[in-house]
């Protein structure tokens, strides 16, 4: 941990586990180090990064405005898989925020991530530790396979328990806006904030990560299919959350279980030289919204 903290302080990159996925971390106040994240990931500059803090107190240091709703959400959901988008202070470089005047901040619920932030004594800018648009890593092996020697150090904390990226809500405007669904649902946010809007059309710099049409994709072609539908031709595997579905790779039937297993399962199938991976559409409803979002973007073409 001391070595990892020193690498961050001198401008290096450290991959580390959070409760969602593994992050590729750099000192969020060091523009040169942050630019290296974009280079290693081959990530476009108009896709902002999330800043990880160890507490609400640290998060407040980098937000120019801290509305009452931010404290209410932090009290209920932090540490946890929720990112708040707020007006930023000048101490956060524009490289972190895609040139936007706002920054996404969260406090991760993972002991390794929190210890790293506290030992380094700085906020950590960290997107998922993978090539842009590819599957997010939920183990240290996924990071090694995806980024190789592009990372100065990988902290292996085992499998990540949540399994998909954080929910992102913007509090930077007059009304809260859900920018990315996750395992904290829109309905849970509305219990705290009242009505939460959906984002409109976005062009240019995205206000949050994960908003590109195609994202989270395995190398193997991914198909979304109706329950009971089966692709014709080629060699593939069908994934299903339905316990009674025949001839499928059975996925957990609960949203939490499914999310925790999703990327690891896709990583494993991606190594098998298949022609396609077909995923039966998951149920409607708020609890599945983050999973539906990831699968829809993973299956998108172009």
Mean pLDDT (whole number) for 11-15? 98
Answer yes or no: is pLDDT of 6 > 70.
yes
Q: What is the structure's pLDDT at 124?
A: 98
Q: What is the mean pLDDT of the chain?
A: 95
Answer yes or no: is pLDDT of 31 > 70.
yes
List the beta strands (DSSP E) in 172-299.
Answer: 177-180, 222-225, 236-240, 249-250, 276-280
Mean pLDDT (whole number) for 23-44? 97
Cα gap 10→36, rounded to integer Å? 13
The pTM assigned to this predicted structure is 0.96
For tokens 């950590």, the residue is: 124
Answer yes or no: is pLDDT of 78 > 90.
yes
pLDDT band at 77 (very low <50, low <70, confident <90, very high): very high
Residue 285's region, left for phi above 0, alpha for psi from -120 to 50, else beta, is: left
Q: What is the structure's pLDDT at 207?
A: 83
Rounded (10°) CA dihedral 170, 14, 61, 175 = 0
Residue 16, SS3 per DSSP: strand
Q: pLDDT tens, 116-134?
A: 999 999 999 999 999 998 9
Contacts of 179 (CB under 8 A, 6+ apart): 85, 168, 169, 170, 199, 207, 208, 211
∠ CA 23-86-107, nearest 5°, is 40
The number of beta carbons lying within 10 Å of the beta carbon of residue 253 is 13
User: Which of 175-189, 232-246, 261-275 has the weakest average pLDDT?
Assistant: 232-246
Output DSSP code: residue 148. G
Percent of the residues in the chain that have a pLDDT greater than 90, as a whole number: 91
Mean pLDDT (whole number) for 276-302? 94
Answer yes or no: is pLDDT of 71 > 90.
yes
Answer yes or no: is pLDDT of 203 > 70.
no
Q: What is the structure's pLDDT at 302?
A: 62
For residues 166 and 189, the answer to whether their CB atoms sit within 8 Å is no
For residues 24 and 147, the answer to whether their CB atoms sit within 8 Å is yes
Q: What is the structure's pLDDT at 200?
A: 73
Cα gap 231→66, rounded to integer Å? 50
Answer yes or no: is pLDDT of 202 > 70.
no
Answer yes or no: is pLDDT of 205 > 90.
no
Q: Which domains does the chain carry?
A: 2-193 (3.90.870.10), 222-299 (no CATH)
Q: pLDDT tens, 212-228?
A: 777 889 999 999 999 99
For residues 249 and 265, the answer to whether their CB atoms sit within 8 Å is yes
């Amino acid at each position: 941990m001391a070595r990892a903290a020193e690498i961050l302080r001198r401008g290096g990159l450290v991959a580390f586990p959070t409760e969602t996925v593994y992050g590729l971390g750099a000192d969020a106040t060091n523009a040169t180090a942050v630019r290296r994240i974009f280079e290693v990931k081959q990530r476009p500059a108009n896709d902002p990064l999330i800043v990880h803090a160890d507490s609400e107190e640290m998060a407040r240091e980098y937000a120019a405005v801290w509305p009452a709703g931010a404290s209410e959400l932090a009290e209920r959901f932090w540490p946890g898989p929720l990112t708040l988008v707020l007006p930023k202070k000048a101490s956060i470089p524009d490289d972190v925020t895609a040139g936007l005047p706002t920054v996404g901040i969260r406090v991760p619920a993972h002991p390794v991530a929190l210890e790293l932030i506290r030992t380094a004594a700085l906020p950590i800018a960290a997107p998922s530790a993978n090539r842009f648009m590819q599957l997010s890593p939920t183990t240290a092996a996924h990071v090694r396979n995806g980024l190789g020697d592009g990372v100065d150090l990988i902290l292996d904390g085992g499998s990540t328990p949540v399994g998909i990226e954080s929910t992102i809500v913007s509090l930077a405007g007059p009304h809260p806006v859900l920018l990315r669904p996750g395992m904290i649902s829109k309905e849970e946010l509305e219990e705290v904030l009242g009505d939460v809007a959906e984002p409109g059309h976005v062009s240019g710099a995205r206000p949050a990560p994960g908003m590109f049409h195609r994202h989270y994709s395995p190398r193997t072609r991914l198909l979304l299919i109706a329950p009971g539908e089966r692709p014709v031709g080629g060699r593939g595997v069908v994934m299903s959350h339905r316990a009674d579905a025949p001839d499928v790779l059975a996925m957990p039937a609960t949203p939490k279980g499914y999310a925790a297993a999703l990327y690891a399962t896709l990583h494993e199938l991606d190594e098998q030289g298949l022609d396609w991976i077909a995923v039966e559409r998951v149920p409607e409803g708020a609890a599945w919204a983050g999973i539906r979002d990831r699968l829809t973007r993973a299956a998108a073409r172009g």
